[in-house]
Amino acid sequence: MPDALGSAVTNTNPNSCVNLQTDRLCKPWAVTDNLIHFTAQWEAFRAHLYDNDGGGHGGNTTIGYGHLVHMGPINGSALEAPWLAGLTMSQALALLREDIKVAEHIINNRIRVPLYQYEYDALVDFVYNVRGHSKESLLNLVNTGHYDRVPAKLLEYTGAGGARPRSLLKRRHAEANLFKDGTYDASH
């Protein structure tokens, strides 16, 4: 049996105590290799600079597994110089691990309830993917402890630049399934 998460006095007998227990993990959390590969499959490897138009606004200069080089299309900027020769898959995975740390930091700072590893991984993938977009209502829902409502809430985040791309809908379904039952399935 897991250690007690906490204890509380019942409201019927002030001399009684109830232990609260969970199999969920407490902080600090860290992503698994399963999550890195899950995210990499969604982002898709590109060895050379490309304009990612995920927001439908002309694209941002990107490389590897969705690593943002700079805002706006490829333009010969000095920020592009280190990437002109391209990169390998292992270099791209290392960049992804670094980039994902921003999402990990957000989840570790904002979530105040225990999570299963796969729930944490699903939230990190979601935050990594939505980046600057508002995610407050999802994170607030997680903090209520209504874990069963989170998969449906994830499915509300399927718009990109006014459109609803099928690939984004599939990714949200995969994140919802990962959060719900720990299935690291990024097939699409």
Residues across the chain: 188
Contact 43, 35 (CB under 8 A): no
d(C-alpha 85, C-alpha 48), whole Å: 7
pTM (two decimals): 0.82
DSSP 149: G
DSSP 19: E
What is the overall mean pLDDT for the chain?
87
- Tens-digit pLDDT profile for residues 102-119: 999 999 999 999 999 999
Domain ranges of the chain: 4-181
Distance of CA 88 to the CA centre of its chain: 23
CATH class assigned to 4-181? mainly alpha
- Is the pLDDT confidence value at 3 over 50? no
